[in-house]
Chain A
Amino acid sequence: MVPLPYVLGLAAMLFSLGLYGVLTQRNAVRILMSIELMLNSVNLNLVGFSRYLEPDRPSGQLFAIFVMTVAAAEVAVALAIILVIANRRDDIDIDKINLLKW
């Protein structure tokens, strides 16, 4: 049986990888991918806690399902925005995107 701190430690390392990506990258698509990594690590935490603390009533799995739903919606909208920006200008450097309307 896998001890719970292993699961939580893996989730923490995955989260900090995503955090490092979000803070250092300038490409909007790559920042989006790093955010997905962070959401995945949060799901791992939820599933781990629900498996070890409340195995009869897996509420954590349900929360993870809702997180997945919100992540799917977020990716759809974010990619639409990124496509619009990429069509209006040639790059998606988030340091250079400083206007609300073109």
Chain B
Amino acid sequence: MSLDLLAFIVLGLITLIAGYLVVASANLMHAALFMGLSFVGVAGIYVVLGAEFLAAAQILIYVGAITTLIVFGIMLSNLQDLKAGERGVWARLVRNLVSFRRGVVPLVAAGGFAILMLAIYARTAWPAAAALPAESSLATVGRLLFSEYVVPFEIASVLLLVALLGAVALSRRDDRAQAQSGTPAGTMPAAGRKEGR
């Protein structure tokens, strides 16, 4: 067994187990941290596949930004997981097996998809891997990004700006509008309750 394959199998197992725990773990914060671990495993697989820049971007964006953002979101909103009594994916599975929407349909959809795709992959004749070119993929990616794909690149930056503004506008508390309309905070039952925190 070559070293590449061994690294791939270990990283793939880490990714899959962490991904399973994202769905299955009872604690919301644990699920977020397992999601970060799963992203780290995917970054390692990118290294095995020869995409070093993408691995670095995966660590920076997914592990550094998105996981942190979700952890902050959980802490800021002080959320608890729903239905604390329903622990574990198996207990939920058995309990919901009678329910059509949460038992049978997701199981058939997810399991059927995985089985179908694996069967197709096993039967197809895939080309053998070609050797990597002498030039590192980072240089090629950079050149492509600023020549052929420059328009999507610029659009992506505008999209990020719009998302930033949208997130700020959505999460800003509208104190001034409330004061102008003259309604005391207590008359809005749901909104007023949180003000005391």
Contacts and interface: CB of A to CB of B under 8 A. Distances in A.
Given A57-B144, A82-B77, A51 B159 contact: no
Given A8-B121, A34-B23, A24 B70 contact: no
Contact of B61 (A8, A58, A62, A72): A72
Nearest to B160: A73
Q: Is the interface of A mostly helix, strand, loop or mixed?
A: helix
Interface of B: 2, 4-5, 8, 12, 15-16, 19-20, 22-23, 28, 31-32, 35, 38-39, 42, 45-46, 48-51, 53-54, 57-58, 61-62, 65-66, 69-70, 73-74, 76-79, 81-83, 92, 96, 102, 105-107, 109-111, 113-114, 117-118, 121-122, 124, 126-127, 129-133, 137, 140-141, 144-145, 149, 152, 156, 159-160, 162-164, 166-168, 170-171, 190-191, 194
30 contacts: A3-B126, A4-B127, A5-B121, A13-B16, A18-B23, A19-B110, A20-B109, A23-B102, A29-B28, A32-B70, A33-B22, A43-B58, A50-B51, A51-B129, A52-B130, A53-B127, A61-B137, A62-B141, A64-B51, A65-B145, A68-B58, A71-B62, A72-B65, A72-B163, A80-B166, A80-B167, A80-B171, A89-B190, A93-B82, A102-B190
